[in-house]
Amino acid sequence: MTNQGNNKDIRIGFYICHCGTNIASTVDVQKVVEFASKLPKVVVSRDYKYMCSDPGQELIQKDIKELGLNRIVVAACSPFLHEKTFRNASSQAGLNQFYFQMVNTREQNSWVHLDPYASTEKAIDLVRAAIYRVVYHKPLEQKRVPIHPDVLVVGGGIAGIHAALTLANAGKKVYLVEREPSIGGHMAMFDKTFPTLDCAACILTPKMTAVKNHPNITLWTYSEVIGVDGYVGNFKVKVRRKPRYINEDLCIGCLDCIEACVYKEGRFYDEFNLGLSKRKPVYIPFPQAVPLLVVIDPETCIQFKSGKCKQTCVEVCEPNAIDFTQKERIEEIEVGTIIIATGFQTFDPKKIPYYGYGTYPNVYTALEVERLINASGPTQGQIVLRDGTRPKSIAIIHCVGSRDKNTNQWCSRVCCLYSIKLAHLLKERTEAEIYNFYIDIRTPGKMMDEFFIRMKEEGIKFIRGRVADIYPDTSNGCCGKLVVKAEDTLVGEIIKVPVDMVVLSIGLEPRADAQEIRRMFNITCSTEGFYIERHPKLAPVNTFTDGIFLAGCCQGPKDIPDTVAQAGAAAAEALTLIDTGYIEIEPNTAFVLEDDCSGCKSCIPLCPYTAISFLEDKKKAFINEVLCKGCGTCVAACPSGSIVQNLFEDEEIFSEIVGVLNYTYHEEEV
């Protein structure tokens, strides 16, 4: 704990920000300024309304030049927000940017405490800690990491498609990895999209084809990322490509094999149509699938199950594309940046038993209805119930699984609008009476409320009330109808509406494997599973991991316009990195003080990045700075204290401890 000789010339400037009233209304800024001014080596202590503003930064720069300051401490918001700002300001005034320390006085103080006295005491302790700490700061060089220009996009929904095309059009090489046999995601399932009611296929299919044909895009469908190594600029990614049992280079997409299959009719659950139709073991998910390649499902194909199929598909395939021996392939690629666009899944309404989904055949999910309405869906766009009849009355239940403590708390944002869209489309095709049961109608966004008003004028009924029960109508020995029971909260009475069909407007939720995916990519997600952006306003597509960006519903529920906007933003962030060519990263790596190293090797197995090796000739440990990511685990473990972590040196942290505790040294300790 002794002071180094050079400490004699240390000249600290201290600044505290009012942040308007965000800090100053809780923390007694004047008191902190006065306190700091009396600490050793502090040459100037000031406050300012907005330190991050230009005049605030200029204040620091002027002091650096005029008062010869060589250390700067700013008490303001979180370092996550403005550490960079102040480091830059210091460096522009000729100071090494790492001679700077920030005190989190807003997020971790004024915003979380009510008592001004205690808040001010806390600020004083942390300011003392920072001022003691900054004395030990070293001038460091920022590390530069080169950025590999290729990009990986994970997920081929509209988000992934748009991001991939944007990057490819800018001349970057893109790998687009999609789990399903075709790209398109949820949007490919819809017939029309709100609020414009334009045809989903008309706007999506050309983009899907463009992906397929783009010389800069490598499209791997029926594939999954199974491993990610490395870091920003240099990710090494492993992709598993599942066998389709079709030679992709030979298949011409004539679909003759499907026709020729020994099963004359579809017999098996059709995933894309959510089981509303049946498919054969050899199939394409939907007519506009991209790539237009058939898939053979080994679970249901007779050849795989018994080896005794007549193989009529093979006979008919002129290019000889069918290959029952195909194995899964693992591709290894190197990319510099990654865009995660894995989308969402819909809420499973079986979790709310009283809605009767799965029990009553005429209760459908909205997604199933999207398929029924779709011109290329299981009924070619005819709205018919499972028994083949046409519904004359339909209830649409909003907010299923959303805005409810027992299921998902959030509003899924698109359900009101897609319910209104479905109401319109169902009315148009069936002329049925349509009842919307809603809690609140939420239609924010451009043209959205206008859309709602228009639909209301078409005579669609809106009833405000959460549905309490759905049950078969048994009155008067009646008729196979379902009764929807709810309290009409505008009238204040219980109503029971008999209908032929019920549509559940299920909410959007994170994919079931969101936790696994986030671990693989080392990004964070909220407790419910949506991936977290670095800053909700200022870095909405960045993650906390440099070089990995988010697009679409994997970050939270949103509609197609917002998804596409976000995908464009993610592509732009990736482009910025690629075109800069490098990224500057924190120089918080560790190094070994050779003289002190006892050669005990205890640090070596601790490093998760195998950055530490043993120099046999010198009998010393050695840290490869390129591999070190700066966690500091080895530093904490070194018995001889001979490993130092830049920016988090022992002395720096010890002096923070002394500072926060206001510990005073005694003669013999100094």
Partner 1 sequence: MMENKSNGNGQKEWQPKIVAFFCNWCTYTAADSAGVSRIKYAPNIRIIRVMCSGRVDPQFILDSFAKGADGVLIGGCHPGDCHYQEGNYKCLRRFRLLQRVINSFGIEPERLRLEWISASEADRVRVVVNEMVNQVKALGPLALPQKYEELKKEIEHHPVTSEIKEE
Ligand X SMILES: Cc1cc2nc3c(=O)[nH]c(=O)nc-3n(C[C@H](O)[C@H](O)[C@H](O)COP(=O)(O)OP(=O)(O)OC[C@H]3O[C@@H](n4cnc5c(N)ncnc54)[C@H](O)[C@@H]3O)c2cc1C
Least Å distance between CB 181 and partner 1? 31
Nearest one of 440, 417, 441 to 197, comparing CA atoms:
417
Least Å distance between CB 468 and ligand X? 23
Residue 336, interface with ligand X (CB under 6 A)? no
Instruction: Centre a 10 Å sphere on the Cβ of residue 572 and count the other Cβ atoms it contains.
Output: 15
Contact string (CB under 6 A) for ligand X, positions 516-545, x = contact: -x----------------------------
Least Å distance between CB 656 and partner 1? 5
Q: Is 175 helix (H, G, I), strand (E, B) or coil?
A: strand
Which element (helix H / strand E) includes 169? helix 158-169
126 binds, among ligand X, partner 1, none (CB under 5 to 8 A by kind): partner 1
416 binds, among partner 1, ligand X, none (CB under 5 to 8 A by kind): none
Which range in 11-19, 188-196, 273-281, 639-647 contacts ligand X by CB under 6 A?
188-196
Instruction: Centre a 10 Å sphere on the Cβ of residue 596 and count the other Cβ atoms it contains.
Output: 13
Q: Which residues pair with 486 in a beta bridge?
A: 467, 495
> Helix axis angle, 415-430 relative to 366-373, nearest 10°?
40
Applying the rule CB under 8 A, the residues between 523 and 542 that interact with partner 1 are: 524-527, 532
- Which region, left, alpha or beta, applies to residue 343 given φ > 0 means left and ψ of -120 to 50 means alpha? left
Which element (helix H / strand E) includes 89? helix 79-92
Residue 514, interface with ligand X (CB under 6 A)? no
Residue 635, interface with partner 1 (CB under 8 A)? yes
Residue 560, interface with ligand X (CB under 6 A)? yes
Sign of the Cα torsion 56, 60, 65, 66 reads positive
Say how far apart CA 79 and CA 88 lie, in whole Å.
Answer: 13
**Which residue spans within 232-267 are E strands per DSSP?**
234-241
Place of tokens 């920003």: 232
By beta-carbon proximity to ligand X, the closer residue of 130 and 176 is 176
What contacts 352, CB < 8 A, 6 or more positions away?
Answer: 400, 401, 407
Instruction: Centre a 10 Å sphere on the Cβ of residue 327 and count the other Cβ atoms it contains.
Output: 10
Applying the rule CB under 6 A, the residues between 405 and 444 that interact with ligand X are: 414, 418, 421
Q: Which residues pair with 525 in a beta bridge?
A: 531
Contact string (CB under 8 A) for partner 1, positions 51-90, x = contact: ---------------------------xxx----------
Least Å distance between CB 421 and ligand X? 5
Contact string (CB under 8 A) for partner 1, positions 543-582, x = contact: -xx-------------------------------------
Contact string (CB under 6 A) for ligand X, positions 22-61, x = contact: ----------------------------------------
Tokens representing 56 are 């605030």
* Mode of pairing for the β-strands spanning 482-488 and 467-472: antiparallel
Say how far apart CA 100 and CA 83 lie, in whole Å.
Answer: 8
Residue 291, interface with ligand X (CB under 6 A)? no
Tokens representing 227 are 């491993």
By beta-carbon proximity to partner 1, the closer residue of 31 and 242 is 31
By beta-carbon proximity to partner 1, the closer residue of 276 and 532 is 532
Classify residue 29 as exposed, middle or buried by CB count within 10 Å of its CB (0-12, 13-18, 19+).
buried
Site size with ligand X, rule: CB under 6 A: 40
What contacts 645, CB < 8 A, 6 or more positions away?
Answer: 588, 589, 590, 630, 632, 635
473 binds, among partner 1, ligand X, none (CB under 5 to 8 A by kind): none
Which range in 48-56, 304-312, 547-555, 625-633 contacts partner 1 by CB under 8 A?
625-633
Nearest one of 505, 542, 521, 610 to 236, comparing CA atoms:
521
Residue 186, interface with ligand X (CB under 6 A)? yes
What contacts 366, CB < 8 A, 6 or more positions away?
Answer: 346, 396, 415, 418, 419, 422, 503, 504, 505, 506
Enter the DSSP assignment of 328.
-
Least Å distance between CB 56 and partner 1? 20
Residue 394, interface with partner 1 (CB under 8 A)? no
Least Å distance between CB 527 and partner 1? 5
By beta-carbon proximity to ligand X, the closer residue of 137 and 186 is 186
**Residues near ligand X, by CB under 6 A:** 154-160, 177-180, 185-187, 190, 193-194, 224-225, 341-344, 346, 366-367, 370, 414, 418, 421, 508, 511, 517, 552-553, 558-561, 563
**Residues near partner 1, by CB under 8 A:** 3, 7, 40-41, 78-80, 104, 106-109, 111-115, 117-119, 121-122, 124-126, 129, 132, 519, 522, 524-527, 532, 544-545, 588, 606, 608-609, 629-633, 635-637, 645, 648, 650, 653-654, 656-658, 660-667, 670
